[in-house]
């Protein structure tokens, strides 16, 4: 009877080579990042000035656009939020990832940092007028904070507001794998405006609670 060692060494080298190639192939296939957004897990890096939000290179103002709040009242963006720093975000209530992550992070960080909604407006503008009824927007925002402002309007008005900020309009990306209609592509960043309505910084997707806790008190102190 041959010993285990000799049995192993007598195994055809081709089988071993094939096995090694198979393992190497599987491991190589497993090496790639799981998705393009995987890098976002680390959060935002602080800039030289300590801010986590990214400064805007071009000057932009609060869009001159009139939308409706969830009670049907007209809201002129450039007038309604003058005098208070504002975080503006374009999204939709069926959004499975970016919108709920951003809004939950902001609401939670405001609580932790002790920043009041009296000192900072957080505005959500729907890019999905077909599905986002006022009631639906209200219910949606209630998952994060009842103090957030929900706005909606004709798609053309929303697209115009986005264009004034040099942001692309919403696009239908295809069916939601959860079976909830279509996914809509939309700008993933939150835009920060000072009390004069000047856009100063953006927070891309990947901003974590710790990033907001670092920046929110400065927004209130320096932008009011």
Partner 1 sequence: MTVAWWCSSTPGQIWTWRYTPFIGVWVVAATFIGGYLLAHRRAGRQVDPRLLRRWVLGVLALFLVSEWPIGQLGVGYLATVGIARYIVYTFVAAPLLLAGLPDWLVVRWFPDGSRRRRVLAAVTTWPIALLLFNAVLFGTHLPITVDTLKVTQLGSFGVDVLHLGAALIWWWPAMQKVPAGNAIEEPLRAFYLFASSVLMFVPAAFLTFSPLPLYGLYELAPPLWLGFDPTADQQAAGVMMNIGGGLVLWAIIATLFLRWAAAKEAEDTAARRVRNEATLARIAALEAETAGTPGAVGLDPDRPASAD
Binding site for partner 1 (CB under 8 A): 4, 7, 26-27, 29-43, 96-97, 100-101, 104-105, 108, 112, 140, 143-144, 176-178, 205-206, 208-210, 213
Instruction: Please give the radius of gyration of the chain, using alpha carbons only, rounded to the nearest integer.
Output: 24
Q: Which is nearer to partner 1, 23 or 156 (CB)?
A: 23
In the bound complex, what is the minimum distance in angstroms from residue 66's beta carbon to partner 1?
29
Q: Which is nearer to partner 1, 101 or 155 (CB)?
A: 101
Three-state secondary structure string covering 124-186: EEECCCCCCCHHHHHHHHHCCCCCCEEEECCHHHHHHHHHHCCCCCCEEEEECCCCCCEEEEC
Tell me the C-alpha distance between 58 and 199, whole Å. 9
In order of 88, 156, 173, 181, 215, the CA distances from 61 in angstroms are 12, 19, 29, 33, 20
In the bound complex, what is the minimum distance in angstroms from residue 204's beta carbon to partner 1?
11
In the bound complex, what is the minimum distance in angstroms from residue 98's beta carbon to partner 1?
8
Q: Which is nearer to partner 1, 57 or 135 (CB)?
A: 135
Tell me the C-alpha distance between 89 and 99, whole Å. 8
Q: Which is nearer to partner 1, 156 or 172 (CB)?
A: 172
In the bound complex, what is the minimum distance in angstroms from residue 164's beta carbon to partner 1?
28
């Amino acid at each position: 009877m041959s010993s285990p060692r000799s049995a192993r060494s007598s195994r055809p080298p081709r089988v071993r080579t094939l096995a090694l190639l198979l393992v190497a192939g599987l491991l190589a296939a497993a090496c790639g990042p799981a998705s393009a957004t995987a890098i976002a897990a680390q959060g935002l890096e602080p800039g030289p000035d300590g801010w986590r939000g990214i400064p805007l290179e071009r000057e932009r103002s609060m869009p001159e656009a009139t939308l409706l709040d969830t009670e049907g009242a007209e809201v002129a963006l450039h007038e309604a939020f003058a005098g208070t720093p504002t975080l503006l975000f374009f999204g939709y209530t069926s959004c499975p990832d970016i919108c709920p992550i951003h809004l939950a992070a902001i609401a939670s960080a405001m609580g932790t940092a002790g920043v009041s909604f009296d000192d900072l407006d957080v505005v959500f503008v729907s890019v999905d007028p077909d599905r986002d009824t006022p009631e639906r927007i209200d219910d949606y925002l209630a998952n994060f904070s009842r103090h957030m402002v929900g706005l909606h309007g004709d798609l053309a008005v929303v697209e115009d507001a986005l264009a004034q900020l040099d942001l692309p309009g919403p696009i239908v990306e295809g069916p939601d794998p959860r079976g909830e209609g279509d996914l809509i592509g939309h700008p993933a960043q939150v835009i920060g405006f000072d009390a004069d309505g000047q856009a100063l910084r953006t927070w891309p997707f990947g901003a974590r609670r710790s990033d907001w806790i670092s920046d929110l008190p400065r927004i209130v102190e320096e932008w009011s």
